[in-house]
Amino acid sequence: MNHTICLQVPGHIRYTQIVEDFTRSISRHFFPEAGHQHDDLCMVMNEIFTNIVKHSDTKKSREIIEIQMIINPVELKISVLDHGPGIMVKKQRPPYDNNLVGHREPFRKVLDGTVYLTVNSPRQLSFSFENEAIVNDLHQFHGHGFGLSIITKIMDRLTYSALADGKYNWEMIKKIQP
């Protein structure tokens, strides 16, 4: 049986703890034997929420960030609405040209690897992480992209879809293992 639970939160950083508490409560209630995965999911939600607040128009427009969790016995599907400008790929914002479908490129390089994006369709990107040798030159990093690397490492699937009217949906899926 599927359960759908939603939370609407003002797009302000002071609501981060509410998002984490909501996530922890859902995780512990539906997956009590999941162990450390509760904290992992809280970390993911902290990262996605703070990234949306930081990089979108939620602060100026007082937008509400909508979080939806769909739970079944073996997985958790999380959708988070974003009111940002859209992610650039080859100097284009969504919707992307059809000739970009299938295009894959490095999105962010972090200490232990690279986050890659792939254009799945004119309105959807997916993200993945590839481990690489640890880099010793920390000066090449500019303090961004670490959150997305955490999310791609923890979650089993991460997509970003353009909806309409400047709205985007981050969808994350996590297979829950006891």
CATH number at residue 88: 3.30.565.10
Report yes or no: 120 and 159 within 8 Å, Cβ to Cβ: yes
Residue 174 in tokens:
């996590």
Can you give the pLDDT of all 178 residues of the chain as single tens digits?
Answer: 899 999 999 989 999 999 999 999 999 999 888 778 889 999 999 999 999 988 876 555 568 899 999 999 889 999 999 888 899 999 999 999 999 999 999 998 887 889 999 999 999 999 999 987 655 555 555 555 578 889 999 999 999 999 987 899 999 999 987 6
Instruction: Domain of residue 92: give its range.
Output: 3-175
* pLDDT reported for residue 73: 87
Total domains, the chain: 1
* pLDDT reported for residue 153: 92
**What are the angstrom distances between the C-alpha of 114 and each of 90, 95, 141, 145, 150?**
18, 24, 12, 9, 11
* pLDDT reported for residue 147: 83
Angle between helices 37-55 and 146-154 (to 10 degrees): 140
Beta strand 124-131 with 64-72 is: unpaired
Residue 97 in tokens:
């040209």
Residue 13 in tokens:
């950083």
